[in-house]
Every structure is written in structure tokens, then in C-alpha cells.
Amino acid sequence: MNRRPSKSTIKTLSTAAVLVLVSACASNGVVSNNNWPKDRNVVEGFELRESNRVLSHGLTQISARALEQPHLGRFVLTGITGLADIDPLFSIIDADDRVQTYIGSTLVSDLAKPTDQVANSWLDLFHGSVIGARRRSDLIGGADLEQIYAAFFDAALDDLDPYSRYAGRLQARSNRETRNGFGGIGLRYISSDLGLEVQGLQPGAPAETAGLMVGDLITHVDGVSLAVKRSWTIRRILRGPIGSKSTFSVIRPGFQPAKAISVVRSLIVPQTVEITVRDSVAVIEIHSFNQQTSQTVESLLTKALVDDSSISGVILDLRGDPGGLLDQAVTVSDLFMETGRIVSTRGRHPESIQRYQAFEGDIAGGRPIVVLVDSRSASAAEIVAAAIQDTGRGLIVGTSSYGKGTVQTVVRLPNDGEITLTWSRFHAPSGYAIEDLGVLPMICTSGLQGPVDDALIQWQETSSRIAALKADWRTVAPNDVEARASLRSHCPAQVRPETSVDLALARKLILKDSLYAQAVGLTATSAAKKEP
């Protein structure tokens, strides 16, 4: 038989055609429901019980928590196609009540399709397909469990939605460190043939307090050379338990021989916030939202207001911010709001249904606020922007944002990997779903090159149209794809770089009370629909 089903595609055939295929392709070694033991720990070198433990937990959590409940059978069948990522010769045929898999034109498994929606039944089908493929494919036969998990979940989750994804043990550890911090020294560096050249130091972190300086060359840590090491190996050497000590061998002009510097590791959370104050305006750039973002915003702005009492307003620059933690978006919004709804989330799982309100207290003391967004502002950044503008606390300048209006929860697996799973949609204070729509700036800068006075003229000429557009923005149906795309076209999403007119325009609005009041007034009157 020369024809082979195409890679990563589930083909369907009639029962009669299946009998012909089985007759033509059957050979010794084909896995069937009757000839492979499903109750053993290890089958032909494959750790069946461990794989079943990890996949079963994943399927159970996905079934209970996913925003749209997946059909278990389709999910697993799609996961089976992922084996083609390991061996491109792998393919699958879904034929009525049976599923066959092939390596090239060779039939390797012929299994009955489960008639129930029980996870273990479908996992038996998956594992039978894996065992059959391992007998005929050196690539799949040589794959470890992590490769099998990645192949299965990558294919199945990709079919579920754009944001759900799997991370293996090492990547999951890195993800957790990004979200929560890690034991480290607070150092930016580039690798060289001799070691690590220090490029930057996190203020107050162990590397700075121990005396390391920009330009230093670190050649060894605890006697281990850093020359020509892979990036993962370097991270493993630099990071470690909080409180652990290492000795760094450092070459610096004037050090002969290399100087030994002792560094004690502490909790390092990547910096996501910067602040600058110029011409009585505080500009806070938030690059992403991790566990310390809101705390950093609060401390930096509090210090700036103490140091310079002439600050008349705040710009939150969220351009290029891909988002991050939901709770941090809520807390950052709450810093600037005395009252009102910040965001609400809705999904199938009871825990995914939440409403977040602002508590009394405005760190900016009522000063004007302008939020800058562009096409890359997403997720948590969009929550903050919508909360500030919808409640009338401030206004948005820029272009339509990304439109990533779903919330992901993290499911930790028994192998220490994790699934980032979409489980709810979030809604702006005025009620609209942000998914595939984004937030609409009151002052749209799409295509605008400058100067700032031209931008103001353009806004004043179009302000009534934008205000009317916001009313439609807040009432468009979540499933009306055409209408949502049409609305976004009125202020096309664009990348707005730091050199654009947007920042200058925001400064002008803050420093000219009448312009700011006019814009905020239009925002307030256009917020016709309030979420119950």
C-alpha cells in the first residue's frame, strides 16, 4: 500500500474501508485492544503508569476548568497527532468506531474508539498508539516522557485556544521564577570566551551590595569556570537557594590577580517598572506585571511625590506591555482609584467568576492620569487601561490595544511541568468583553507622526465621533467577529515607539487642565452602559 495519511491530520474512513486497510496492512507487532497489557508499570521500555498519572491529571483539570469544555475524544485524538512532531512519518486515521495509526505506510496500531467520555479510556487509546509507534519508529521509540507529554499537549491545547499551552519541567521552573522570583544575585550580563561581562546591576540586589560593578568580568563561581558555558548552565550556577553564598572570581582594571568577591543570594524578582520625572510630570513605564509590580509602582511614585511636590500628573506608559498577573493588574489599578469596578471575570469554573472593586485611597491624590497603549499592550495592561478610563479616573492615548481578553490559570502537573489554561474572559467596568476587541483610546494616534499641536487638532475634530464609537464599543456582542473587527478599524492597532508623539501629547493634556477635563468629560458621558 503506497498511500500514507498526511502528517498531523485525522482522516476518517468508513467501516468497510477500515476492514480493507486492516487486511492490507496488518502485520506482526500491530497493537490492538487485545495484545498489549494496560495494567503494567512499564511496557516495552515505556513508563505507562507514570505517563497515565501525568496525562490523567492534566485531562481532569482541563475538562473541569477550560473556558470552553473540550470534547474529550477530540482532544485526545488531536493529541495523538502530536506524535508527528517527533516523527513526521506518523499519521492517524479516525474511522467510525476504530482508530489506526501508521509509520509511513505501515499500520502500527488498530484500536477500538471509546464510546464513553472517561479519561482513562481515551488514554488507553493514546498509549496504545504510542506503544505501536515506538515499535516501528526509532524517533518515537527514543523519545522520553517529556517529549511525549509535549507532543500530546502542544497539539491538543493548540486546537483548544491560542493561549493555552504546556511547559515541561525546566520551562515551567523558569516560568515560575519569572512570576514569583528566584534565589539569585540581580545581574545582567553577556557571555564571552572568558566568562561573563557585567552589563547591569539591580539596585539593592546582592551583586550590587557585594561590590560588583558594570564592566567586571566574572571568570569563575566557586572555582567553576564560566567560559563558553550554555545559558542554562550559567543560570543554574548563578542561581541557588536564598541565603546561599558563592565566591566570584572577578577581573577588573587594577585587580591583579583576579579579586574574590563573596555574594549571598536573595529573592530576585525581575524589575518591570521604571519612573522618570520631567517638567512636573511623572512617567511610569510598566514593562510587564509580576509579583512585585504594584509594590514597585507604589514605592517609586510615593518617593517621587515626596521628592518633588510640583508633580502635576502621572503617565502610565503601557506600550509594548504584554501583561502578566491578574492580581497585579487589579492592585495597580486600585492604587489610582478611590472607588468603582476594576474588572470582572467569567468562566465555567465557579472560582473563575470574580468581580474586583477599588478600595478607598488614590496614591496620586487625584492628579490627572493618562495611560499610553498600543497594539502590543495586552492582558493585564488592558485591564489597567480600561479601569482608569471607564471609571472616569483618567483617559487613554494611543491605538486600539491587542485584545487579549482571557484569563489563564496555571495547572501544575505531577511531573513538575505545567499547563497554562484559558479559563475565563475578563470584562471592562462598563461591561464589554475585551477579547478580540481591545480598549479604545479616547485620543487615537493611529498613523499620527506629529507634531503634538496637530495631534490635538485632529483629536478635537474627531472627539465626538470617538465618543459615539465608545458607546458601540461597549455594546457589541462578544461573538460578533465582523462588528468587533469593524470597530477596531476606526483606530487601527499599531506599534507606537518611544519616539512617537504619544508621550508628548499625554504631557500636553496633563499640563493643560482644560484639555484634560474636556477629554475626561467625554469619556464619562460615553460610558452609558455600566455592568450590573
Please name the amino acid found at residue 486.
S
User: Can you spell out the DSSP letters for 416-457?
Assistant: S-EEEEEEEEEE-TTS-B-TTT----SEE-TT----HHHHHH
Integer angstrom CA distances of residue 350 from 323, 426, 433: 24, 14, 19
More confidently predicted of 21 and 378 = 378
pLDDT at 528 over 70: no
What pLDDT is stored for residue 15 in this prediction?
38
| pLDDT at residue 256, rounded to an integer | 64
Same domain, 377 and 409: yes
408 and 507 together in one domain: yes
- Residue 212 is part of a domain; what is its CATH number? 2.30.42.10
Residues 445, 505: contact at Cβ < 8 Å? yes
Residue 1 included in any domain: no
pLDDT at 11: 53
> What digits encode the pLDDT tens for the residues 215-248?
899 999 999 999 878 888 888 899 888 899 999 9
Is pLDDT larger for residue 23 or for residue 523? 523
Q: What is the pLDDT of residue 14?
A: 40
Domain final residue, candidates 224, 250, 267: 267
Considering the domain architecture, whether residues 319 and 201 belong to the same structural domain is answered as no
pLDDT digits (tens, 9 = 90+) for 207-216: 999 999 998 9
Cis bond before residue 451 (omega within 30° of 0): yes
Is the same domain home to 283 and 255?
no
Let me know if residue 4 belongs to a domain: no
Indicate the DSSP class of residue 114: P
| 53 and 202 both lie in a single domain | no
- Is residue 410 included in any domain, yes or no? yes
Per-residue model confidence as pLDDT tens digits over 148-194: 999 999 999 998 999 999 999 888 888 887 777 788 999 889 988 88
pLDDT for 18 beyond 80:
no
So what's the pLDDT on residue 95? 83
- What pLDDT does 166 receive? 96
Q: Report pLDDT digits (tens) over 78-128.
A: 999 999 999 999 999 998 889 999 999 999 999 999 998 889 999 999 999
Q: What is the pLDDT of residue 384?
A: 98
Total number of domains in the chain = 3
Query: What integer pLDDT is reported at residue 280 of this predicted model?
Result: 93
Determine, yes or no, domain membership for 307: yes
198 and 147 in a common domain? no
pLDDT, greater one: 477 or 147: 147
Contact 91, 137 (CB under 8 A): no
CB 72 within 8 A of CB 94: no
Residue numbers of the domain that contains 21: 10-160
How far is residue 84's CA from residue 23's CA, in Å, rounded to a whole number? 24
Q: Please, which residues bridge with residue 91 across strands?
A: 102
Chain-wide mean pLDDT for the chain?
88
**Of 388, 390, 519, 392, nearest in space to 444 by CA:** 519
- With respect to residue 2, please indicate whether it lies within any of the assigned structural domains: no
In a domain, 165, yes or no: no
Query: For residues 55 and 71, what is the distance between their CA atoms, to the nearest angstrom?
Result: 16
Kindly state the percentage of the chain with pLDDT values over 70: 92
Mean pLDDT (whole number) for 241-263: 86
Q: What are the C-alpha distances in Å from 283 to residues 286, 301, 505?
A: 10, 9, 13
What backbone phi and psi angles, to 5 degrees, belong to 284?
A: -110, 115
What was the pLDDT predicted at 498? 81
Higher pLDDT, 195 or 257: 195
Say if residue 282 is in the same domain as residue 238.
no
- As a whole number, mean pLDDT of residues 129-138 equals 95
The three three-digit cell numbers of residue 13, written as one number: 474512513
Residues 20 and 81 in one domain: yes
Q: pLDDT at position 16, please? A: 40
Q: What is the pLDDT of residues 487-522, one digit of tens each?
A: 999 899 999 988 788 999 999 999 988 888 888 876
Average pLDDT on 412-419 reads 95
243 and 281 part of one domain? no
Cell, residue 213: 560593578
**Cα–Cα distance measured from residue 530 to residue 32, given in angstroms and rounded to the nearest whole number:** 59
- 393-404 in b/e form (b: 16+ CB < 10 A) is bbbbbbbbbbbb
Residue 17 confidence class, pLDDT cut points 50, 70, 90: very low
Is it the case that residue 340 has pLDDT exceeding 60?
yes
Helix (H, G, I), strand (E, B) or coil at 358: coil
Dist. CA 25–CA 6, nearest whole Å: 17
Residue 169 lies in a domain: no
Q: Are residues 355 and 379 in the same domain?
A: yes
| pLDDT tens readout for residues 447-490 | 887 788 877 887 777 777 777 788 888 888 888 889 999 999 98
Which of 136, 119, 123, 30 lies closest to 70 in space, CA to CA? 119
- To the nearest 10°, report the CA torsion of 453, 457, 459, 465: 180
| Nearest residue to 502 (alpha-carbon basis) of 381, 375, 331 | 375
Percentage with pLDDT > 90 across the chain: 63
Distance CA 276, CA 315 (A): 10
